[in-house]
Amino acid sequence: MTPFSNRHLRLPLFAAALALGLATSMTTAQADPATTPRLLNVTGAGEVHVTPDIAMIQTGVITEAPTAAAALAANTKAMSAIFAGLEALKIDRKDMQTSDFSVYPVYENAPVNATETTAPKIHGYRVSNQLALTVRQLDSLGSVLDKLVTLGSNQIGGISFSIDKPEQYLDKARTAAVMDALRKAKLYAGAAGIALGEITAINENGSGMPQPVYMKAMMAMERADVPVASGQQTISASVNMSIAIQ
């Protein structure tokens, strides 16, 4: 076998040195301030004010009876009437969801001379059936509240207003945020006497989805047209934008 010559050893060494030199040159060029683009970084914000179009209601029935079976039967009868009444108001079953169901004993009040060893006596049983309800026609909200109470609902925990499909409004807020960032960039560039180049990056800094707005429940109503006010909600967006300057 022919031994390797010095020429064969020098070729790999030369290639490695050349690669190292190119890498060092590229690193130096990247770090050179003269070749680093100058950027203007701005933040833009946008908001859209929207009137809520749906309402959520927490309602239900609590019944008590000497036996659990009797309390359950009374509760079932009342809830069945409520479901039928809501369907008569054109509320879809998919917008009704049982949120809590419980059966538990009700104890008598302890006598004044009771001791720690006195066992509490069961006075009866209580059944609670709670319903989460979505109303999509806000102009019928007063009628829904009136119907609930009329049919036997003795629990209305709260009413909240929200937006069914907020994505389209969030997109409008995002567009407004970008326009706000561009407005600021032009303002800064004009004040500094510099020219704007291409946009190099746009990053969403965050978005604010509306939270449900709650109002106190009304437990006794004499009229079906109960006055309610849904107000407005704010959807917001924020972006960070980088623009090359010349």
Domain residue ranges in the chain: 36-52+164-212+233-246, 54-110+121-162
- Burial (Cβ within 10 Å: 0-12, 13-18, ≥19) of residue 34: exposed
- For the cut 70, the answer to whether the pLDDT of residue 108 exceeds it is yes
Statement: 54-110+121-162 belongs to CATH 3.30.70.2970: yes
Tell me the average pLDDT across 11-29. 44
> What's the whole-number average pLDDT of the chain?
81
List C-alpha distances in Å: 203 to 2, 24, 104, 123, 199: 63, 32, 54, 63, 11
pTM, full prediction:
0.64
Question: Matching CATH topology for 36-52+164-212+233-246 and 54-110+121-162?
Answer: no
Q: What is the mean pLDDT of residues 172-201?
A: 96
Q: How much is the pLDDT for 168?
A: 93
pLDDT of residue 18: 42
What confidence score (pLDDT) does residue 156 get? 87
What SS3 class is residue 202?
A: strand
**pLDDT on residue 159:** 87
CA distance 30 to 38: 13
Mean per-residue pLDDT, 74-92: 94
Q: Residues in the chain, how many?
A: 246
For residue 39, pLDDT over 70 is answered with yes
Give the span between the Cα atoms of 230 and 160, in whole angstroms: 8
CATH architecture designation of domain 36-52+164-212+233-246? 2-Layer Sandwich (3.30)
